Amino acid sequence: MWHDPSSAAARQVRAWRAEGRLAEAKLLRALADQPTAEWIGDQPRQKAHRVTESARASGRTPVLVGYHIPYRDCGNHSAGGAPDGAAYRRWARDLAAGIGDREALVILEPDAVAQVVDGCVPAELRGERLDLLRHAVVTLSGLPGTRVYLDAGNAGWVPDPARLVPSLQRAGIAYADGFALNVSNFHTTRASVDYGHRLSRHLDDAHFVIDTSRNGRGPAEDDGLGDTWCNPPGRAIGQPPTTRTGRPRVDAYLWIKRPGESDGTCRGGPPAGQWWPSYALELVRNVGG
């Protein structure tokens, strides 16, 4: 898989080396040298073309995250997205055009289906959201070198995976290569595999991928300071990305969330998606602890 040599982690390593902070720079190489996903919201055609072209030149496959659904994140830390359904359909077509015939693995719309199931999406928008997801799945899966995994939440969100099935089906899971779990979350690989197998049985043994970027210590306990998924302390990076999972239905362990990027303005963090070097360093230091 492809990794970005100009990622925030890589730039931080170079900056710390220049400042003489060699021990910290060495630690952060654990992030900078790993393939992580590229999140694509605005300017999908340009961004997808740049990443997939760079990846093809290096003989690697990039992981892309399509993240632009209307009413994204139910208006929370990662609010935004397309202003309406027509704009989203154009966005999906532009993303596909940017990828073209180059290889890509696309994680489609983290949280979007689970938010329909848990009720945070207003009732009048739920059907449209699922139909928009279906349009994006069909559009992207028609590309010759693209694999598509529709996000299905995480092991701690919708305890009974059967509740996700009708929404995933309407959202076009049958046209995708499978589903994705644990994106930007902290549930252990074992818990995610178990949950994925339970969901897979309802979906004709669909395959799935798991985000292991920050699950080295599993989820945090409630400290009373906010949501446990938002910049929790004491977490660690998880298993490095690989397609060699040893499990027939688990296609890959991936770093979909970019370790070191904030979940939002909680626990002293910057806005969602911004690089936070002290948190990145903590994730590395806590490995094996």
User: What confidence category does residue 222 fall into, taking pLDDT thresholds of 50, 70 and 90?
Assistant: confident
3-state secondary structure of 180: strand
Kindly write down the DSSP assignment for every residue of 194-252, as one continuous string.
HHHHHHHHTTTS--EEEE-TT-TT-PPPP-SSS-TTSS-TT----SPPBS--S-TTEEE
pLDDT at 79: 78
Q: Does residue 39 have a known ligand-binding role?
A: yes
List, by residue number, the catalytic residues. Answer: 73, 111, 263
Residue 89 and residue 140 in contact, taking contact as beta carbons nearer than 8 Å: no
pLDDT at 160: 98
- Rounded to 10 degrees, the C-alpha dihedral 200/229/262/254 comes to -20
Mean pLDDT (whole number) for 237-251:
98
User: What confidence category does residue 228 fall into, taking pLDDT thresholds of 50, 70 and 90?
Assistant: confident
Question: Within a domain: residue 1?
Answer: no
Residue 29 and residue 287 in contact, taking contact as beta carbons nearer than 8 Å: no
Kindly write down the DSSP assignment for every residue of 147-174, as one continuous string.
EEEEE---TTTSSSGGGGHHHHHHTTGG
Question: Within a domain: residue 3?
Answer: no
Q: Does residue 53 have a known ligand-binding role?
A: no
User: What confidence category does residue 18 fall into, taking pLDDT thresholds of 50, 70 and 90?
Assistant: very high
Is the pLDDT assigned to residue 225 strictly greater than 90? no
3-state secondary structure of 33: coil
State how many domains the chain has: 1
pLDDT at 209: 99
Question: Within a domain: residue 210?
Answer: yes
Mean pLDDT (whole number) for 212-234:
87
Question: Within a domain: residue 207?
Answer: yes
Q: Does residue 185 have a known ligand-binding role?
A: yes
pLDDT at 224: 64
User: Tokens 């003489």 map to which residue?
Assistant: 20
Mean pLDDT (whole number) for 195-216:
99
For the chain, give the mean pLDDT. Answer: 96
Question: Within a domain: residue 80?
Answer: yes
Question: Within a domain: residue 2?
Answer: no
Residue 185 identity: N
Q: Which residues, listed in sequence order, are joined to residue 127 by a DSSP beta bridge?
A: none
Tell me the pLDDT tens digit for each residue of 125-181. 999 999 999 999 999 999 999 999 999 999 999 999 999 999 999 999 999 999 999
Question: Within a domain: residue 141?
Answer: yes
Range of the domain at 203: 8-285
Q: Does residue 229 have a known ligand-binding role?
A: yes
pLDDT at 184: 97
pLDDT at 128: 97
pTM score of the predicted model: 0.96
Q: Does residue 261 have a known ligand-binding role?
A: yes
pLDDT at 74: 87
Residue 267 and residue 222 in contact, taking contact as beta carbons nearer than 8 Å: no
CATH number at residue 265: 3.20.20.40
Dihedrals φ, ψ of 181, to 5°?
-130, 150
d(CA 34, CA 245): 17
Going by C-alpha positions, the residue among 259, 129, 250, 120 that lies closest to residue 185 is 259
